[in-house]
Structure formats: structure tokens, C-alpha cells
Amino acid sequence: MKSSTVLPIFLASLALPAVAQETFTPETLKVEERIAEGPNVLVMDQSWNGASTIDVLGADGDLKMKGNMGAGTTAQMVLSKDGKSLYTGSIYMQRFTYGPVTAVLHEWDVATLSRKREFEIPTKLAHVETQPALFALSDDESYLLAQNATPATSISVIDLKAEKAIAEIPTPGCWTAIPATGMKFTTICGDGTLASYTWAADGTFGKPAKSEKIFDPDADALFANPVRVDGKLIYLSFKGSLYFVDDSGDAPVLTETLNMTDGVLGKWAPGGSEAIAYNAPTGKLFVLMHSGAKEGSHKDPAREIWTYDLASKKLVGRSEAHHENTLTASKGDVPVLFAASEEGNFTRYEYTEADGEVTLTKAGEFEGLSKFPALIATDF
């Protein structure tokens, strides 16, 4: 009975006129040869279980994704001074859990996000969080300095023109390679000293020139990544002191110390991975700070970003932060700051100064940009 009722309705529906369909035009996909013009900010999303990614965003308030480049695991990166080339060093594992590995240096063209060249470097390359002082271009950008750990520490000096490592400089008890003028770098050591090393084009290198004891690693350790200001290095301590070091001579020399937290209530202290940034035209330091500091809190995310004026030696701004642990500042007359949290959120801050007071205002956000945003660089 039910089937005899349905059949006439079905047959009648076949007799109805067909409904006109809109013409479907398939989208044509294409690959842009170059990214959109304008200033960029590059964010290393370091991976320990696969390929690392360098995301390239427009530096305006929209933080529009322009594209990305892909390196291997535990990647490091450094941007050339002109912002046109990005260098990465990373590991490629044949079996991943055992067996041989390959360490590769890539040079990328930022404008096209394409690989310009690649060559192998020593496999002693340290498998650690991305930091600027672990993978750095020499003063004239002819060489690249790469941190090794086996766990014995050393620095590979890589000749970029010859595309090979020309030296392995042992740096026992020391970590990082901060490029200095000429063929020279400075490193921080666990006994509270700093040391400078030199090398020559033929791969020979000199003995370390060690400083007197500069800091107490037990009472107030230093973050390993300083900023360079007017030729001198400024190291940030766990308790908020600034250590000014002149490494222009044979051995590094401490010239001055300042404390940013004197007279400030709340047990404030620096925290994060890249906790300090510098803008030369304004002479300002920017520091990620957290309150309630205690032993071991030097990795805690920021509650505020402090602005410290080097000319007046005064704290001139305290702005709200958003739990970031990595920070950088652009190089222009009016700096733009970029910061990232361990949760992968990325924030842009605009800078204003009035009557000697600096305010940093959130002016853009990219939520969930990356899983492990370990390092930020700008090309402007």
C-alpha cells in the first residue's frame, strides 16, 4: 500500500522542469613569486619532533601571515643586517630515535621565502631552545658562529663563502658566542667570568682572554643573551641588574652596574627566554618583568614590560604585558615591540612617549600563531 502511493509521486517529480543551476567557476590557485612589500616580523616556531617553521608576518596591526619557511628539528636562526637573508641551522634525523643525523645550514631569501643554498655543518650543533647568541653572524657577516654541545661546549666558525666550518673553538664551561668587532666573539662562563676568543681566516684561533670575575652565578646569575649598545654589552641579571661590559680590548671588562628594581615594591624581576630588547634611536631598554620573584622564577612569563632609559638611568615606563616570555623591538626612530607567549600567542605593541614617560599599548594580536615561539626578529 505504501509503495503504491510513493511511486506516482516519484514519477510526477521526474516530469517537473529542471531548476536552473548557477554556473560554477572553480578558483584558480597560484603561487606568488614574492611576499607583499612592507616591514616584516619573523617568528621561529621551533620543533623538537619534526620540522621547525619560521612564520613571516606583516608588521602592521593586522599581523597578516605572508608565508613561512621550513627547517629541520631544533632549529636556530639569524637574520642578516639588511633583512634580506635568513640563515637557519637545524638537525635532520635519519631514524629519529637512533642512528645518524645531519646538521644543515640554510640560507633563505626573505622576499621570496625560497631556499638560496644549503650545506652541511658539524653535527655537534647544540639541540637547545632557539637563542640569538647560539647562532650568530660575525661582525662583517662573512662567518657564522654556531654553538656546539656534546655536552662539551665549543663554537663552530663557519665560512659562508667557502660553505664549510673552518674551526672548532673549545669553550669549556662557557656558553654562547656574541660577535664583537672583527673576527672575535665573547662568551659567558659558569664561574662568573666572560671570555673573548679570536680566529683567523685560515681557521687558526687564539687562547681565550678571560675577564676578572664579573658576576656571582649563585647570588645573581645573568641571562646568557645580552644586547649590544654603543659597542658595549649589557647583560641582564635574574634580580634585575644591568651589567655593562666592554669587550673591545683583549679581555672583557665590567664598566658599570645598575639596578632597575631599586625602590620598586612587589619583588619584581626579569623573566622569560628573551627577556630584554633594545632600540638605539630612543636609547631605551625593554624588559619582561614579573612580580613575586623567587629562586627559579627567571623563566616566569611577564606581567609587565618595563622601559628603562639609558641616558637618564631611570625606569620611565611600566606597561601591561600578556604573559609573554620572548620580546624584540624594531630598529626605527619610533620602535614597535613584538612579544610571544609559551602558549603561542603573538602580540604587537605600539610605543608612545610623553613628558618623559613611555607607554606600550597592545595594537595587534595573533592568537595561536605557533606551538613554541622561541625567537622573534624584525627587518625594520
Segment 138-170, tens digit of pLDDT: 999 999 999 999 999 999 999 999 999 999 999
pLDDT of 19: 57
Nine-digit cell string for 237: 641579571
346 lies in a domain?
A: yes
pLDDT digits (tens, 9 = 90+) for 251-293: 999 999 999 999 999 999 999 999 999 999 999 999 999 999 9
- pLDDT band for position 11 (cuts 50, 70, 90): very low
- Is 237 a member of any domain? no
What CATH number is associated with residue 304? 2.40.128
Cα–Cα nearest to 44, from 83, 75, 85, 86:
75
Q: Choose the final residue of a domain: 104, 121, 138.
A: 121
Distances (CA, A) of 78 to 54, 69, 366: 11, 13, 22
Q: Is residue 342 part of a domain?
A: yes
pLDDT at 27: 84
Give percent above pLDDT 90 in the chain. 91
What residues contact 138, with CB distance under 8 A and at least 6 apart?
A: 144, 145, 179, 183, 185
pLDDT value at residue 15: 52
- As a whole number, mean pLDDT of residues 283-308 equals 98
Distance CA 289, CA 295 (A): 15
- Does residue 254 form part of some domain? no
Q: Does pLDDT of 9 surpass 50? A: no
Whether 151 maps to a domain, the answer reads no
Mean pLDDT of the chain: 94
Q: Does position 352 have pLDDT exceeding 50, yes or no?
A: yes
Please tell me the pTM assigned to this model: 0.91
Q: CA-to-CA distance for 290 and 304, rounded, in angstroms? A: 7
Range(s) of the domain holding residue 100: 35-121
- Report yes or no on 234 lying in a domain: no
Domain boundary among 121, 156, 189: 121
Asked whether residue 82 is assigned to any structural domain, the reply reads: yes
Q: Dihedral sign, CA of 199, 200, 204, 209?
A: negative
Provide the percentage of residues in the chain whose pLDDT is more than 70: 94
Residue type, 90: S
Which one of 2-11, 25-34, 307-316 scores highest in mean pLDDT?
307-316
Domain boundary, last residue among 121, 147, 178: 121
Provide the domain count of the chain.
2
pLDDT at 32 (0 to 100): 84
Q: How far apart are CA 132 and CA 145, in angstroms?
A: 11
In a domain, 310, yes or no: yes
